[in-house]
Structure 1
């Protein structure tokens, strides 16, 4: 298994990161643990998590990381083994979108070969523990036998949203955070993401939701649903702090163009009406944190008046997939939802790096 630290980087070898709706070989995720970490909500989180994993497993294989014997026993009691493979891994938390690998493919249309980039993870700017989580991609590499690239740059999957045609969205609030890569500016990051993920055009919004401890991850606010269509959240209450930020994002999105200079179609998605907080701090519930898989889209809902409206909008833009709403009132207490805890492995043969010998 090769660890690549120097050029040639993925783009030079024909690799790039595909869209989320490209065919998956599997979904990777991690099982929740530690009731103290979840501030007394662990059992409810696990119940919601079980619904999520069982739903995904109806459509594609699931690889589930479990921290210890207790976590594995609990997961097996709720899930069984149908289409789920268990991996015992030391973990600090469950947000595998951010501490997991970012897969890249080469070959069309579905990826003849698959590899990944192992970026550094520092728990969104050293906010929590991360020493175990940043090592988790090596478990994936060992299981797959994959040659892959290791980078010392801090980069989280939730900070990037790709259309699979050379364009990605992000926020300055996140990528330019002083606690991530203080030595890198916009041009540096654009060059790095071009080399490692094949992103030819990086589009910058300014900020994300209030209460988002990831510092404005794009996957809680603005998502591609196909190559030319973007769904973005709006806050309808003018007195809410999110109102101005989301309106500014909307106006900015209207000025963006794709890799061929064409404007995008923009679809507005409401935020939940219910104000949610934990220990006096606002939580960032959002319908934009959906996860797209093989023939399905799973959407977080909250028992909120806007749940049905959001699902109707997303069914309209994902007409070729089954759009499934699942409760996320407990999971959101950790600050994220379904997209934050999942990472897709694209279809393709695992690259062993033999062409570098």
Structure 2
């Protein structure tokens, strides 16, 4: 297993880039919830929702599930039964694998040039797969993070994958990509002084160009009220294809989310892709009802959906807008089953389905040759 540092050739140098979430997956990585205190006494309900999510994903692709102890593994095995799940015993602090897990990059396949073959029998080669191991500090030191920061190294060992180790803090939920050179993020998250002090918009643009193949980085101002991630993009605004963006809106002018979402919508309508073409912008309502948690208002959102092989899992909250959200999203994912699943307990922890998943794109694991 080879480790590459910032002094080695970058992913971009070697032709790697982050694929979009809708590209084919080899598997989904997740972590099983284990700490009742972190869930404010809701662990049983959270595990029930997790089990339904894992079983749904496993209908379409393999799930690689991290469990931190005997009790967690036994509980998960009992709830998941014969689902297509592989268990990994790993020390864990929490479950937000989108943020503490690896961010995979892929190099598209070419042709074999094996001199033992005639040139007339050149064979297509599958994509090569690697990842970036960013630092994770629990959104600026808000919670325990030391075990979760080690998860990418465990994944590297499990896959025997060469990968890049970076000194910067970066969470997967803070970045959206369209697979065609465009990235989308928020200033409220990336520009905090508890992540990468001194790294400005231009610095991030250069960093993400070399590591993830993002040629054009677009910025929104902020996210949802009381989002402990400081406004991750995946809670409000998502790509559904190269040219389409779905973004959260709040029509109630008295709601604290109204102004930020309105500014984001105006900004998106003035943005263009890597070729200078405007995006198609689709408005997605936030849940209509106010949800209260142990630490104040919760940030429920339908934008935190997860795209997998043949499906999209969309969080539902027992809210009047649940059905409307599914009706808006379904036409944006032709060929995929758009599935609504309960996330009323999971949101007690501050996130939902996208936050607890990390896709492993299809491809042959790169050994660093």
TM bucket (normalised to shorter chain) is over 0.9
Q: Structure 1 pair 293/111, CA: closer, same or farther in 2 (3 Å)?
A: farther
Taking the aligned partners of 1:56 and 1:296, their CA distance within structure 2 comes to 8
Correspondence 1:262 to 2:277:
yes
Instruction: Give the drift of 1:139.
Output: 1.0
Report what 2:28 is aligned to.
27
- Residue 331 (structure 1) aligned to one of 346, 358, 361: 346
Kindly indicate whether the alpha-carbon contact (under 8 Å) linking 1:111 and 1:346 is maintained by their aligned counterparts in 2: no
Q: Structure 1 pair 190/320, CA: closer, same or farther in 2 (3 Å)?
A: same
Alignment of 1:122-133 (within 5 A): 122-133=137-148
Correspondence 1:322 to 2:323:
no
Alignment of 1:190-205 (within 5 A): 190-205=205-220
Taking the aligned partners of 1:309 and 1:185, their CA distance within structure 2 comes to 38
Taking the aligned partners of 2:293 and 2:194, their CA distance within structure 1 comes to 24
Report what 1:3 is aligned to.
3
User: RMSD between aligned alpha carbons?
Assistant: 1.1
Report what 2:176 is aligned to.
161
Kindly indicate whether the alpha-carbon contact (under 8 Å) linking 2:129 and 2:365 is maintained by their aligned counterparts in 1: yes
Instruction: Give the drift of 1:34.
Output: 1.0
Taking the aligned partners of 1:299 and 1:111, their CA distance within structure 2 comes to 31
Taking the aligned partners of 2:94 and 2:363, their CA distance within structure 1 comes to 28
Report what 1:15 is aligned to.
16
Which is further off, 145-154 or 270-279?
270-279
Secondary structure, aligned partner of 2:12: helix
Report what 1:293 is aligned to.
308
Taking the aligned partners of 1:114 and 1:238, their CA distance within structure 2 comes to 46
Report what 1:96 is aligned to.
97
Instruction: Give the drift of 1:80.
Output: 2.3
Kindly indicate whether the alpha-carbon contact (under 8 Å) linking 1:105 and 1:111 is maintained by their aligned counterparts in 2: no
Taking the aligned partners of 1:139 and 1:35, their CA distance within structure 2 comes to 25
Report what 2:57 is aligned to.
56
Instruction: Give the drift of 1:237.
Output: 1.0
Report what 2:76 is aligned to.
75
Q: Structure 1 pair 269/111, CA: closer, same or farther in 2 (3 Å)?
A: farther
Q: Deviations over 1:255-275 (max 9, x none)?
A: 100000000000000000110
* Deviating 4+ runs (over 3 angstroms): 108-111
**Structure 2 stretches lacking a partner, 5+ long:** 111-124
Report what 1:47 is aligned to.
48
Taking the aligned partners of 1:76 and 1:261, their CA distance within structure 2 comes to 49
Secondary structure, aligned partner of 2:86: strand
Kindly indicate whether the alpha-carbon contact (under 8 Å) linking 2:109 and 2:128 is maintained by their aligned counterparts in 1: no
Q: Deviations over 1:193-219 (max 9, x none)?
A: 111100100000000000100000000
Structure ID, larger Rg: 2
Kindly indicate whether the alpha-carbon contact (under 8 Å) linking 1:104 and 1:197 is maintained by their aligned counterparts in 2: yes
- Residue 166 (structure 2) aligned to one of 151, 173, 180: 151
Report what 2:122 is aligned to.
none
Taking the aligned partners of 2:295 and 2:312, their CA distance within structure 1 comes to 32
Kindly indicate whether the alpha-carbon contact (under 8 Å) linking 1:276 and 1:282 is maintained by their aligned counterparts in 2: yes
